Amino acid sequence: MTVFFAPLALLPGGWARDVRITVEASGAIAAVQPGATAEGAERLPGITLPGLPNLHSHAFQRAMAGQTERRSPPEARTAEGGTDSFWTWRHTMYRFVGRFSPEDAEAVAAQLYAECLEWGFTSIAEFHYLHHQPDGTPYADRAEMALRHLAAARRAGIGITLLPSLYRHGGIFGKDPVPGQRRFLNDLDGFWRIVEGIRAAIAGDAQAGLGLAPHSLRAVTPEMLRALSGFAGPIHIHAAEQLREVAECLEATGARPVQWLLDNLPLDARWCLIHCTHMTEEEAARLARSGAVAGLCPSTEASLGDGIFGLPAYRAAGGRFGFGTDSHVGISPRDEMRQLETSQRLALRQRSVATEDANPWPGRNLLEAALAGGAQASGRPIAGIAAGQRADLVVLDPDHPALFGREENEVLDAWVFSGQGNPVTQVVAGGRVVVREGRHIHAAAIAAEFRAALRRLAA
């Protein structure tokens, strides 16, 4: 057993002082005791929060962050409607993925996961579609690239839900893929071989889970979706990210993407619909009633010009949501929460949108939504500081300039909405200390391998 002592901690029932957290060797919390002593325990140096789940990641895109901001060439803009957009960005991404080796994928993922831990994400859902060699030929082990992400997660110490992505087509429904997509493509038989390879690799590993990720209505057929829909664990799919996607779905099916999914599949608490940027209020209410999670990635959605999620209608309907970092132009849970709330303020010309009279603190509301929605979408016991959950703890420095003098819920508002520095000082993931004094314990070695991978990719 390992025992931690938190002078102040946010528990499922609210704030508590002098909290003794007993952790089993497996990394699960055995007991949580407020009003206890620190005798024999490792003292957590600050304000302890539950670690947050990152519910949407394409790890390889961490190596692209900052490299796709320049104006696209005229010919690329002309081919995609005349302006820079998600669709012109996608062409750049296709060129980039042609260079990745398995070693590069592991090095980039390890860097990303270490950075996520330093900012307070203690688990990640890896929506993985970079499966094959550059010419599309499968590796000898079809799960090779997925297993590289598992190795990176184990090295960094982050919890992971691997979401191998089924990707077969280039448009709704059944259009031919383009050459840049050849590394992504599988038929159902090849896809299930990847799934089984991952299942074998994570057997007995409490820090790892498995789900499925039919990429989008652009990439799979209705028959493929039905074949995956009986899976017992998490199922993630991109939906309604772009207005063009909505228009194409309407033309092909007569329905909007979220509407089509609700009408044709057994959407329930297993499902996580990524983005949902362009939903009608009726779709938002139906999605909320289904029990599925909306996976929001506000920094990426802003970067790609996707649009602004309709938060008020979805929250009013009781919709569940969590946060991911997607293309990793941002890697902080604080920044994703801030971007969501401030984008609402800009769109609506209001303040404190993610609140109501009974719950007037946006920081706490967003954190608790992120925790509940992220845990559900990850399919792992990571829903807070409680017995039976993973020991995922994030410690904030109370003397950080953004937080000094703040108390309880004020701390969360200050963390989310104040300053640019990182007040995370220590992180525990699965019962193991992985960040001390704000720095990942293997940061230097992981960064050296990341730099070597970037040099190879740039050669």
- Residues annotated as part of the active site: 275, 326
pLDDT value of residue 339: 98
pLDDT value of residue 78: 53
pLDDT value of residue 10: 98
Cα separation, 320 vs 296, in Å, equals 10
pLDDT value of residue 67: 75
pLDDT value of residue 410: 98
pLDDT value of residue 94: 80
Structure tokens at 77: 């803009």
Q: Any idea what the Cα angle at residue 65 is, between residues 62 and 68, rounded to 5°?
A: 135
Cα separation, 155 vs 106, in Å, equals 10
**52-389 topology per CATH:** TIM Barrel (3.20.20)
This prediction's pTM: 0.96
Radius of gyration of the chain (CA): 21
Buried b (16+ CB within 10 A) or exposed e, 211-241: bbbbbbbbbbbeebbebbbeeeebbbbbbbb
The residue assigned the tokens 């062409």 is: 91
Domain boundaries, the chain: 52-389
CA-to-CA dists, residue 5 to 33, 178, 272, angstroms: 9, 55, 35
pLDDT value of residue 98: 84
Q: Splitting the chain (459 residues) into consecutive groups of 10 residues, what average pLDDT does each group show? A: 98 98 98 97 98 98 83 66 73 81 98 98 98 96 98 98 96 86 95 98 98 97 97 98 95 97 98 98 98 98 96 98 97 98 98 97 98 98 98 98 96 96 98 98 98 92
